[in-house]
Amino acid sequence: MPGSQRSVLGSLVLIAAVVGFGVGAFAYTAGWLTPNRLTSTKLVSALTPPGGPALGHRRNHAKGVCFTGTFDANGNGSAISRASMFTAGRYPVLGRLNLATPDPNAADPTVRVRGIGVQISAPDGNVWRMALIDPPVFAVSTPQGFYDLLTASTSKDPEAMKGFIAAHPEFAAFGEWATKAPWTASYAEVTFNSLNAFTFTDGSGAEHAVRWSLRPEARPVPITAEDFAKLGANHLEEDITERVASSPQRWTLVLTVADPSDPTSDPTKAWPPGRRSVEAGTLVVQKIEPEANGPCRDINFDPTILPDGIKVSDDPFPAARSAAYAKSYDLRTSEASSYPRIEASAKP
């Protein structure tokens, strides 16, 4: 194949990955950016599909299912953070498994990125909310770059994506993952990554830059995109519901501590292997509930809601996500009549 044709084909593959990711990736925007540059309203509007938003639903990661369970802390996390939920014990959890799409009715095989929102509550009133996705790196290095990605991926200008890729070379690593990483046919087999760095403070006051992952107990079984498509439009929710009904599903919370030279403000840059890691406990998913009337429906998984012992770092994205999540929450709760709760008597 001539070089020019390979280049065009490669661009088309990347564009397909971007469109699939761009319409449903984390809704990032920085509330502290000036209005003429980027605002939460502008960002959330850019996430809206051509046919308009799904009223009453999240503007992003709109397809999902609720779960409840526990975080079983083993005490190891206390070595790097004084957060009370790292003290050995069992803590209640509610969360949401989801797909990165603005369409709550999207077919599972059409969405490349999967996510999880988790809330861990401690008896002393501390709460830790987090939102993770399955790529090992994020697509862009700044909130403005994410907005540029959204606008380029939906532009009618055939040169828009070429221009974006040229201006954002950091996108290549995500594009590589999106086009080449194997799929799995179950949420239970997914590793979820925080991507953003946070600052953990231990009992002595020492600070540590940390990213974390939720690593599944279930063995990942690779599947081709074509075979996954044969399983049905809603296979992921059906599968996790069946698995949890049979037995609780588990993920290990692994905290990765940065070396002083590691970048903390850019989620497109993975930290080198071999960094110190701490297995802090186990997320145990014990019950699955449809979102329409489930406990996660009205939870905003704002990653800046943190317990004492964890705070944001110089990474701009958590504050950006917080602003956009708040905007999305305000919109969907004002449209609640378009997505009414199911009365108990009406349940099958």
Strand, coil or helix: 166: helix
H-state helical runs in 98-170 = 143-153, 160-167
Strand, coil or helix: 159: coil
Spatial contact of 7 and 302, defined as CB atoms under 8 Å apart: no
What pLDDT, in 10s, does the model give residues 80-117?
A: 999 999 999 999 999 999 999 999 999 999 999 999 99
In the chain, count H helices and then E strands.
Answer: 8, 10
The pLDDT, as a whole number, for residue 336 is: 86
Mean pLDDT over residues 117-141, rounded?
97
Write phi, then psi, for 250 (nearest 5 degrees): -130, 145
Task: Report CA-CA distances (Å) from 278 to 89, 203, 209.
Answer: 16, 16, 13
Ramachandran region, residue 309 (left: φ > 0; alpha: ψ -120 to 50; beta: rest): left
What is the residue-averaged pLDDT of the chain?
89
The pLDDT, as a whole number, for residue 11 is: 46
Q: Say whether 329 counts as a known binding-site residue.
A: no
- Taking 3-state DSSP, the helix, strand and coil percentages for the chain, each rounded to the nearest 5, stand at 35, 25, 45
What pLDDT, in 10s, does the model give residues 156-169?
A: 899 999 999 999 99
Strand, coil or helix: 217: coil
The pLDDT, as a whole number, for residue 37 is: 67
What pLDDT, in 10s, does the model give residues 167-203?
A: 999 999 999 999 999 999 999 999 999 999 999 999 9
Question: d(Cα 312, Cα 267) in Å, to the nearest integer?
Answer: 13
What token pair was written down for 304? 């800046």
Which uninterrupted H or E stretch holds 326? Answer: helix 317-334
What pLDDT, in 10s, does the model give residues 317-331?
A: 999 999 999 999 999
Q: Where are the domains of the chain?
A: 40-134+177-336
Task: Kindly report the number of other CB atoms within 10 A of residue 314's CB atom.
Answer: 11
The pLDDT, as a whole number, for residue 36 is: 53
Burial of 36 (0-12, 13-18, 19+ CB in 10 A): exposed
Counting other chains too, the contacts that 151-156 makes at CB distance below 8 Å and 24 or more residues apart are 151/46, 152/18, 153/15, 153/18, 153/19, 153/22, 153/23, 154/19, 154/22, 154/23, 154/46, 154/50
For the ranges 46-55, 114-123, 299-308, the lowest mean pLDDT is seen at 46-55
Give 154 or 146, the one with higher predicted confidence: 146
| Statement: residue 338 has pLDDT above 90 | no
CATH for 40-134+177-336 is 2.40.180.10
Catalytic residue among 61, 168, 208, 235: 61
> What is the torsional sign of CA 289, 292, 293, 294?
positive
Label residue 343 by pLDDT band (50, 70, 90): low
Which uninterrupted H or E stretch holds 210? Answer: strand 207-216
Mean pLDDT over residues 133-148, rounded?
95
Which uninterrupted H or E stretch holds 117? Answer: strand 114-121
> What Rg do the C-alpha atoms of the chain give, in angstroms?
20
What is the β-pairing status of strands 114-121 and 192-193?
unpaired
Label residue 346 by pLDDT band (50, 70, 90): very low
168 is catalytic: no
Question: d(Cα 92, Cα 205) in Å, to the nearest integer?
Answer: 27
Mean pLDDT over residues 232-251, rounded?
98
Question: d(Cα 102, Cα 48) in Å, to the nearest integer?
Answer: 7
Alpha carbon 300 to chain centroid, angstroms: 13
What pLDDT, in 10s, does the model give residues 28-60?
A: 333 444 445 688 888 888 788 888 888 999 999
Total number of residues shown for the chain: 348
The pLDDT, as a whole number, for residue 15 is: 45
Strand, coil or helix: 31: coil
Percent of the chain's residues with pLDDT above 90: 78
For the ranges 58-62, 120-124, 186-190, 277-281, the lowest mean pLDDT is seen at 58-62
Partners of 97 in the β-ladder: 65, 116
Spatial contact of 117 and 299, defined as CB atoms under 8 Å apart: yes
Spatial contact of 96 and 83, defined as CB atoms under 8 Å apart: no
| Statement: residue 311 has pLDDT above 80 | yes
